[in-house]
Amino acid sequence: MSNNLVIVESPAKAKTIEKFLGKNYKVVASIGHIRDLPKSTMGVDFDNDFEPKYINIRGKGDLIKSLKSAAKKADHVFLATDPDREGEAIAWHLAYILGVDANSDCRVTFHEITKDAIKSAVKAPRAIDINLVDAQQARRVLDRIVGYSISPILWRKVKKGLSAGRVQSVATKLICDRERDILNFIPQEYWKIEAVTDLIVDKEPLSLEFYGNQNGKIVPQNENEVNQILSNTKDQPAIISKVEKRKKLRNPSAPFITSSLQQEASNKFGFTTKKTMIIAQQLYEGINIKGQGSVGLITYMRTDSTRISDIAKDACRKFILDNFGENMLATEEKKQKTAKNAQDAHEAIRPTMVELTPESVEESLTKDQLKLYELIWSRFVSSQMASAEYEAHSVEATVSDYIFKVNGSRLLFEGFLKVYNSGTQSDRILPELNEGEALKVSHFDPTQHFTQPPARFTEASLVKEMEEKGIGRPSTYAPTITTILSRGYVDKEKKSLKPTELGFIIDEIMSDYFTRIVDIDFTADMENRFDDIEEGDVLWKDVIRNFYQPFIEMIEKADQEIEKVDLTEETDIDCEKCGKKMLIRQGRYGKFLACSDYPNCDNTKPILKKLGIKCPQCEDGEIIERKSKKLKVFYGCSEFPKCNFVSWDMPIDKKCPKCGDLLVIKKNKKQEVIKCHNATCDYIEQN
């Protein structure tokens, strides 16, 4: 009877897998990396062709001892870390530390944690793929060189504790460039005109929107142009000139990849990219399902391929047939677009067992786990369902020499929308109209508009932009955003990402002195180089070597030419400890007040954002804006902790007419209302 050791990355995954493999297998966790570059030094030997100087990670000594002990007792060691570059590198480091031959059949990979997948994987071990390892080494070494070379310059020239990463600097640049576009935006006036007819549809008069004339579209730029159109159309009927009806198909989306899951979870639930990945990891590694034990509910969540296995596809189609009927089944396989750089060995993110519906596992999941699982399950099932069918209805009418249009649609066949609908399209039924028919125009309704600046990035739209431009890979989106937020380069205002003053300063330095690093095309091309290494087409040290010499020249130039940036601002505020003036300094979590006589006086205090409203509870303090440990804005009394008044909703300087308490602005996804702060009072008004 053989004694087998299986090493995975997380204890949760170990628990799930051990249940499947039985008593001849012991499953333990490495808890991520056990060997890495040192934190205190560069860790790259430039005199020895960029050889990495790996060390055992501090604090993992006892774990390494226990792994070595378990490996000695085992007849066979299987390294079952995640099925990507990072996982391959962890397996390679484990093999080195445990004395396992990397060329032996020691590596096991799987994309879902189910009994069949795990047993099949263990029966088909392979050697460690050194090309995958080298692709990870290239990224790790390149990022270390960039970060540990530029960061000290930022410490000397700007402020201690700053960092400049290869991908994070490009992400910061995207956000800064968008903010500059917003600041430089000049609104342009334009007008819309509606011809309101006396024909009633769904209790509302039918309106047609101004389009232009026979020569094409016209957008009125000012009131004079509008008045000219109105004078030419005065008292004229709307003659129906064209009526079209056509069937229109709406196809289901492909199953999720990492980026699309992050975007949809953000749009639907307001999840951050980090939160989405944490929950997805839990669903992948195993949830304790009532009556079944620990079950991996979804496939591996770091992927850029929309491919699904034939077994999963067949199971899904059978489920649709049994539960929705043959007419709801897609009649032909839909060709899904896959990014040219996608690692197609991976599958899309899908449920491991389509029979485990969200309803069947609801009791075993947290509220957020259920939301994400239901999203993944419904997107996957819908991808194999029939297209939705609409009847699109368009009407054109001429009023004098001008064309007015109106469009409508009616859902004929629900198809995949029965399971998954990411849009908000609803029926708009138009009346039966015939060409040549005349409608009386009761009045024209002109409205003035102004063009809007581009929207700030949200986490979802930034991920989409990074994906489209080839910046980073599925595993890097969430940590990149987390880093630029934690460094104070970017703030979150509601869901929008806005660069801070510090973010602009860092971006200007990077753009002026490290143009190549923040160049989007260069960053995308570097990702392609990593892919080439993975394919075995390029040696990883050649990639580093070609990058290094021009980079060192940039470093030397920057160190000589960048002038020191003073982030402090003077104030008229006296320090209550020593009487010297306080300065505004930039910290990790934003600006704060600090004594100018530091280090002799170490007095600091927060900069209070006052709302100009007296505290309704103690009447001595003022209501100020605060931030929780998770940086969520709330409102409290300036006399805290003496007064414990707190509100998540922004108070306004107005009393409730019903009970006399303070009124607050309550915001949700759909609207903004004014309500009473007193939970027992039901007063509410529209804002």
- pLDDT tens, residue by residue, 199-251: 988 788 999 999 999 999 999 999 999 999 999 999 999 999 999 999 999 99
In sequence order, what are the residues at sequence separation of 6 or more whose Cβ sits closer than 8 angstroms to the Cβ of residue 600? Answer: 578
In sequence order, what are the residues at sequence separation of 6 or more whose Cβ sits closer than 8 angstroms to the Cβ of residue 631? Answer: 492, 589
Q: Domain locations in the chain?
A: 4-128, 138-184+455-561, 189-251+388-450, 258-383, 568-607, 609-687
Q: What's the rounded mean pLDDT across residues 76-101?
A: 96
Task: Cite the DSSP H helix spans in 286-429.
Answer: 310-324, 358-361, 367-383
Query: Is residue 170 pLDDT above 60, yes or no?
Result: yes
The rounded Cα 65 to chain-centroid distance in angstroms is 38
Separation between Cα atoms, residue 409 and residue 393, nearest integer Å? 6
Separation between Cα atoms, residue 396 and residue 256, nearest integer Å? 39
Could you count the other beta carbons within 10 Å of the beta carbon of residue 198? 11
pLDDT digits (tens, 9 = 90+) for 529-550: 999 999 999 999 999 999 999 9
| Catalytic sites, residue numbers | 300
Secondary structure class of 366 (helix, strand, coil): coil
Under the banding of pLDDT at 50, 70 and 90, the label for residue 452 is very high
Separation between Cα atoms, residue 129 and residue 392, nearest integer Å? 53
Secondary structure class of 593 (helix, strand, coil): strand
How confident is the model at residue 284, as a pLDDT? 95
How confident is the model at residue 669, as a pLDDT? 57
How confident is the model at residue 344, as a pLDDT? 46
Under the banding of pLDDT at 50, 70 and 90, the label for residue 588 is low
Separation between Cα atoms, residue 81 and residue 534, nearest integer Å? 17
Q: Please compute Rg for the chain using Cα positions.
A: 31
Could you count the other beta carbons within 10 Å of the beta carbon of residue 277? 23
248-267: burial string, b at 16+ Cβ within 10 Å, e else: eebebbbbbbbbbbbbbbbe
- Considering only the C-alpha atoms of the chain, give the largest distance between any 2 of them, rounded to a whole number of Å: 96
Query: Is residue 661 pLDDT above 60, yes or no?
Result: yes
Strand pairing partners for 286?
none
CATH fold of 138-184+455-561: Topoisomerase I; domain 2 (1.10.460)
Q: What's the rounded mean pLDDT across residues 255-266?
A: 96
* pTM, full prediction: 0.83
Between 121-135, 215-229, 482-496, the lowest mean confidence (pLDDT) is in 482-496
CB 280 within 8 A of CB 270: no
Burial of 313 (0-12, 13-18, 19+ CB in 10 A): middle
Residue 398's nearest CA partner among 205, 218, 246, 208 is: 208
Secondary structure class of 550 (helix, strand, coil): helix
CB 210 within 8 A of CB 193: yes
How confident is the model at residue 402, as a pLDDT? 97
Residue 46's nearest CA partner among 510, 523, 522, 551 is: 551
Q: What's the rounded mean pLDDT across residues 120-142?
A: 96
CATH fold of 4-128: Rossmann fold (3.40.50)
Residue 273's nearest CA partner among 302, 249, 307 is: 302
Whole-number Cα distances in Å, 502 to 466, 487, 497, 515, 566: 22, 9, 14, 18, 11
CB 125 within 8 A of CB 107: yes
Q: The sheet that has 590-595: what strands, in order across it?
A: 569-574, 581-587, 590-595, 604-606
Query: Is residue 670 pLDDT above 70, yes or no?
Result: no
Secondary structure class of 354 (helix, strand, coil): coil
Q: Which two tokens stand for residue 223?
A: 């009131």
Could you count the other beta carbons within 10 Å of the beta carbon of residue 392? 13
CB 193 within 8 A of CB 441: no
Secondary structure class of 492 (helix, strand, coil): strand
In sequence order, what are the residues at sequence separation of 6 or more whose Cβ sits closer than 8 angstroms to the Cβ of residue 508? Answer: none
Residue 510's nearest CA partner among 219, 221, 209, 167 is: 167
- Name the region of 364 (left: φ>0; alpha: ψ -120 to 50; beta: rest): alpha
How confident is the model at residue 337, as a pLDDT? 53
Q: Could you say which architecture CATH assigns to the domain 189-251+388-450?
A: Distorted Sandwich (2.70)
Whole-number Cα distances in Å, 503 to 145, 166, 169, 494, 636: 21, 15, 10, 18, 28
Mean pLDDT over each residue of the chain, to the nearest integer: 91
Could you count the other beta carbons within 10 Å of the beta carbon of residue 115? 15
- Name the region of 481 (left: φ>0; alpha: ψ -120 to 50; beta: rest): alpha
Under the banding of pLDDT at 50, 70 and 90, the label for residue 367 is very high
How confident is the model at residue 483, as a pLDDT? 93
CB 15 within 8 A of CB 294: yes
In sequence order, what are the residues at sequence separation of 6 or more whose Cβ sits closer than 8 angstroms to the Cβ of residue 221? Answer: 188, 189, 190, 191
In sequence order, what are the residues at sequence separation of 6 or more whose Cβ sits closer than 8 angstroms to the Cβ of residue 143? Answer: 165, 166, 167
Phi/psi of residue 340, each to 5°? Answer: -65, -25
Task: Cite the DSSP H helix spans in 362-435.
Answer: 367-383
How confident is the model at residue 409, as a pLDDT? 92
Q: What's the rounded mean pLDDT across residues 72-93?
A: 96
How confident is the model at residue 631, as a pLDDT? 62
N- to C-terminal Cα distance for the chain?
74
Sign of the four-CA dihedral 658, 660, 663, 666: negative
How confident is the model at residue 673, as a pLDDT? 86
CB 135 within 8 A of CB 528: no
CB 480 within 8 A of CB 167: yes
How confident is the model at residue 333, as a pLDDT? 60
123-141: burial string, b at 16+ Cβ within 10 Å, e else: eebeebbebbbbbbbbbbb
The identity of residue 469, as a single letter, is: K
Strand pairing partners for 606?
592
Query: Is residue 342 pLDDT above 70, yes or no?
Result: no
CATH code, 258-383: 1.10.290.10
Under the banding of pLDDT at 50, 70 and 90, the label for residue 22 is confident
